[in-house]
Structure 1
C-alpha cells in the first residue's frame, strides 16, 4: 500500500490551508491510480506536544505517531499559511523536531495559503530552503492559494493538478526502501557460546 502523508499547519478550523491540502491530496491520489492510504496531520492538534518535543528532544504519544507517519510515508504534502512573509511557527516547529536525515530523498509537494498574492514567493524563498536542508526532493511546482484564487476559474485547479502529477511521478520513481533482514547475517554460534561463558 502506497502511503501519502499530508501536513496542514492552518490555525483555524476549518481553514483554507486544510482545504488546499485536501485538494492536493485528492489530485495526487487520482494521479497515482493505485491504492493509496492518505494520513492527514493537523499540526494545531499537536501544538503543545511539539513544544514539549522541541524542549526535550523526544516526541511522545500521538505526536510521535504523527512524526513517524510523515517520516515513513512514500510521499509528503506540506501546506502552511504564510505569516509575516514566511511559513507559520507550527510548520517550522514540526520540522525542527523531525530528525535531520528522516526525509532524505522523500518526495515532497509544497503548498501555502495567504490573503494576497504578495506572499506567493514564500514557497521558493522560505519553504524550499528548509526542505533542501532536510534533503527532501521537492517537486518543481509549488501551489500558493490567495483568497482570490478560491473563486477563480481554472488557475488554482490547474496548478493543483500539475503539482500532484509531479509528486505522483516522483513517488512512482522512488525505489522502495530496503528493509534489513535480521537473519541475513546471523551471529555465529561460537560467538553466542563465548558470550554466554563470559557471564
Structure 2
C-alpha cells in the first residue's frame, strides 16, 4: 500500500469559510476514494489567509519566508492538489492568484489538480472554466475534468448540503483519486549536479 500526499489550498478569507468547508469535503472524499484504490493518504491544508503578508513580501522581494516556503514545498511535492478559491469580481481571488504567482511556473507540471470555487450565486459557476482551469493549464498541471462549484444555495443549515453538491464532490474526488493513484511526483533536485567543495579541492589538488 502506497502513501499519497494531497495538498489542499484554501483561499477563503473569513472564519468560518465556505471555501474551507468545501476544501475539507473534497479532501475527505478524495481520501475515501484513494483508500478504495488501496492507497493511504496524507493531507495537508494550506490556509492562504494565514500567509497573506508573506505572499505580498515575496512578490515585492522575490524571497519566501519560512512559512510560505513550507507551503510552496508542500504543494509542489504533493502527488495531488485540491485548489479552492472564493469568487471575487467574477474571477479567482487575488490572494489565490498571488500564491500561484510565487510558485515556479514549472513546479506543478504533470501534477493532478482538482479545482473548486465558492460564491454567493450560481451565476459565477463558469469561473471554473474561464479563469481557474486556464491558470492550471498554463502551469501544465493535469486538471481533473470535473470542477466543483458551490453557491450559497448549495449549503443548508450549518455545514449540511441542500442540493447535489455531495454527488459532485464525490465524482470529482474519484476522478482526482484515479489520477493520483497512478502518479508519483518527482521533482529534479536543483543541487543534484553541484560538486561538493571538498571534491572540488580534491580535483584541484590532483591537477597540480
- Under a length normalisation based on structure 2, what TM-score does the superposition of the two structures give? 0.86
CA distance in 2, matches of 1:122, 1:102: 24
Unaligned stretches of 5+ residues in structure 2: none
Residue of structure 1 equivalent to 2:57: 52
Separation (CA, whole Å) in 2 of partners of 1:49 and 1:191 = 37
The yes-or-no answer on 1:114 pairing with 2:114 is no
Q: Does 1:101 align with 2:106?
A: yes
Name the SS of the counterpart of 1:82 in structure 2. strand
Distance in 2 between the 1:191 and 1:73 partners? 34
Residue 18 (structure 1) aligns with: 20
1:151-162 equivalences in 2 (<5 Å): 151=156, 153-162=162-171
2:8 is aligned, of 6, 9, 22, to 6
* Distance in 1 separating the partners of 2:28 and 2:40: 12
Residue 93 of structure 2 corresponds to residue 91 of structure 1? no
Note the residue ranges of structure 1 that are not aligned, 5 or more in a row. Answer: none
In structure 2, what is the Cα distance between the partners aligned to 1:118 and 1:102?
Answer: 32
Query: What does the per-residue CA deviation read over 1:11-70, in whole Å, with 9 as the maximum and x for residues that have no partner?
Result: 001100000000000000000003211000000000000001111122121111011000
State how many pairs are aligned: 194
Corresponding residue number in structure 1 for 2:40: 35
Change (3 A) 1:179 1:47: closer
CA shift, 1:198, in A, is: 5.5
Whether contact under 8 Å (2:77, 2:187) holds in the other structure is no
RMSD: 2.4
How far apart are the structure 1 equivalents of 2:27 and 2:184? 21
List aligned pairs for 1:57-76, cutoff 5 A.
57-76=62-81
Runs of 4+ in 1 over 6 A off after TM superposition: none
Match of 2:154 in 1: 149
Cα 1:58–1:145, aligned 2, differ >3 Å: closer, same or farther?
same
Partner of 1:170: 179
Cα distance, 1:174 vs structure 2:
1.7
2:163 and 2:153 map into 1 onto residues whose CA distance is 12
CA deviation after TM superposition for structure 1 residue 83, in Å? 0.6
